[in-house]
Amino acid sequence: MKRIVIFASGSGSNAENLIKFFYNSDTASVIQVLTNNPHAKVLDRCKTLNISALSFNRIAFSKSEDVLNILKAAEPDLIVLAGFLWKFPEFILKAFENKVINIHPALLPNYGGKGMYGMHVHEAIVNNKETETGITIHYVNENYDEGATIFQAKCDVLSSDSAEDVAGKIHLLEMEHFPLVVEKLLN
């Protein structure tokens, strides 16, 4: 049985979707969720779903080996970033080489980088009058949103779409594709 650890910073809808997808799976299970936000809604979701969840601060994450040691003890086959907003430290990436992936709400390399997350991305898409957008699932490296692409899915952006409309379309793509891509990677 493969082991998944999820990192999230906010509401945790992608984390919940992954937890539920793998709940009765023979392939893998989500064993833990880690967050940098002690008030993140993902913690409530984990409590409801009976999944171990911990919050940590920046010192535990990047200035000490606290989070690294938690990960080593968990022995994950895959670390999944699902709305996690901090840059991953190189020493953790080295310890889990090619085992850390992220989902981004745009078609990278466009609309990636520091500060490009959530509604910031959708607003930029609408303001630039893009005709399509989508999601990118990619490996994580030492730079924001620059790791090798694993999967992309696209959707149309209508001239009448608001940033909220685009967010809704992206959410549907995430819910549909993210668990399937994670499962495929683990197989």
When pLDDT is averaged across residues 93-110 and rounded to a whole number, the result is: 97
Of 109, 67, 63, 58, nearest in space to 86 by CA: 58
* Residues 115-152 pLDDT 10s: 999 999 999 999 999 999 999 999 999 999 999 999 99
Distance of alpha carbon 186 from alpha carbon 136, whole angstroms: 18
pLDDT given for residue 119 in this prediction: 96
For domain 2-186, the question of CATH label 3.30.930.10 is answered with no
pLDDT given for residue 128 in this prediction: 98
Check whether the bond before 109 is cis (ω within 30° of 0).
Answer: yes
pLDDT given for residue 29 in this prediction: 97
pLDDT given for residue 80 in this prediction: 98
Give the start-end residues of each E strand in the chain: 2-8, 28-35, 53-55, 78-81, 100-104, 132-139, 149-156
Residue-by-residue DSSP string for 111-138:
T-STT--HHHHHHHHHHTT-SEEEEEEE
How many residues appear in the chain?
A: 187
pLDDT given for residue 49 in this prediction: 97
pLDDT given for residue 129 in this prediction: 98
When pLDDT is averaged across residues 24-28 and rounded to a whole number, the result is: 94
pLDDT given for residue 160 in this prediction: 98
Query: Which band of pLDDT confidence, cut at 50, 70 and 90, is reported for residue 51?
Result: very high
Name residue 35's beta-bridge partners.
Answer: 8, 55
Amino acid identity, residue 27? T
* Residues 6-16 pLDDT 10s: 999 999 999 99
CB atoms within 10 A of CB 162: 12
pLDDT given for residue 55 in this prediction: 97
Mean pLDDT of the chain, nearest integer: 97
Give the pair of three-digit tokens for residue 42. 């993902």
Name residue 134's beta-bridge partners.
Answer: 154
Of 137, 140, 148, nearest in space to 173 by CA: 137
Domain ranges of the chain: 2-186
